[in-house]
Amino acid sequence: MRVAVTGASGFVGGAVCRELAARGARVHAYGRRETVDPEHVGKAPYRSWDIRSGPLTDAPRVDVVVHCAGTVTDWGPIGEFFAVNLDGTKSVLASFPKTRFVHVSTASVYDPEKPTVMATEDQAPVKRYVNAYGASKAAAERAVMNSGAESVILRPHAVYGPGDTTLLPRVLSSLRGATLVAVGTGRQLVSLTGVGNLVQACLLACESDVTGVYNITDSEPLELDAALAMILKERGIRARRVYLPLKPVLPVAAAVEGAFLLAGSRRPPKLTRYALGHLAVERTLDLSAARRFLGYRPLPTSFAGASSW
């Protein structure tokens, strides 16, 4: 099997490359960085490609594309999000026309202004988003759906694992001495996605002939407090978990965002409405479709080894 992987220099794309290479696939790895450690991409041939620059003019013939490239932060210029997540996706589609397309999207395409309770795939995209990340990823999904490509869209939520640049750093940044400050009650259920489970889904999508949109998470949701306790234990951190009510914190987050915008800061604020909305209320996804049509068999949430991440 010949596979092109975008975002190969990143967290998820690198993991996909390594697993594909280990299974004997012929992998073409693409990423924004000029160079990468060969081990990061499973020793696959690597080429630097900023997908914002447009389509490749000499793309190799492949059987499937796994599109992992994208801007995943929740802060930055609106134009940057759409240039990478929407226009970049269009560039990848144009580079590999009539090729099976596995698009790694996000659960951020679900309605951010209300809890997501065992959401099914038909509940997104929606018309309203609190930031350009969700809006641009929803637009990218629509571009894939309208492209005519034989496609699979995967929607993970809060991906974690070795190399994680988002979930674990955000949790650790919430530590204040011996106290971990979070929002909500701690009892809200969340669906998390181990990178190994997401890689499994990507490979199943490569090998299958099914199309469609699929939620991808760990086997079962768990309470946020339990997840935080697992992370702290693995990191060897003793910290009391304190939960603030969401309602009074939201306007504070909005004010902080406004101040950063007025200052023209490119540095992200530690408190954003997006971050609050994704862990302060229930965010759970239904896996029935992925289990039935992709044959997806996810492992439970585990932060084993997080001390070295």
Please report the DSSP string for the chain in residue order: -EEEEESTTSHHHHHHHHHHHHTT-EEEEEESSS---GGGGTT--EEE--GGG---SSPPP-SEEEE------S-S-HHHHIIIIIIHHHHHHHHSTTSEEEEE--GGGS-TTS-EEEE-GGG-S-S--SSHHHHHHHHHHHHHHHS---EEEEEE-SEESTT-SSHHHHHHHTEETTEEEEES-S--EE--EEHHHHHHHHHHHHH----EEEEE--SS-EEHHHHHHHHHHHHT---EEEEE-HHHHHHHHHHHHHHHHHTT--SPPS--HHHHHHHSS-EEE--HHIIIII---PPPP--TTGGG-
Q: Each residue of 222-281: pLDDT tens digit?
A: 999 999 999 999 999 999 999 999 888 888 888 887 888 787 777 777 777 777 777 889
Domains of the chain with CATH codes: 2-303 (3.40.50.720)
Q: Each residue of 201-217: pLDDT tens digit?
A: 999 999 999 999 999 99
Q: Each residue of 265-289: pLDDT tens digit?
A: 777 777 777 777 778 899 999 999 9
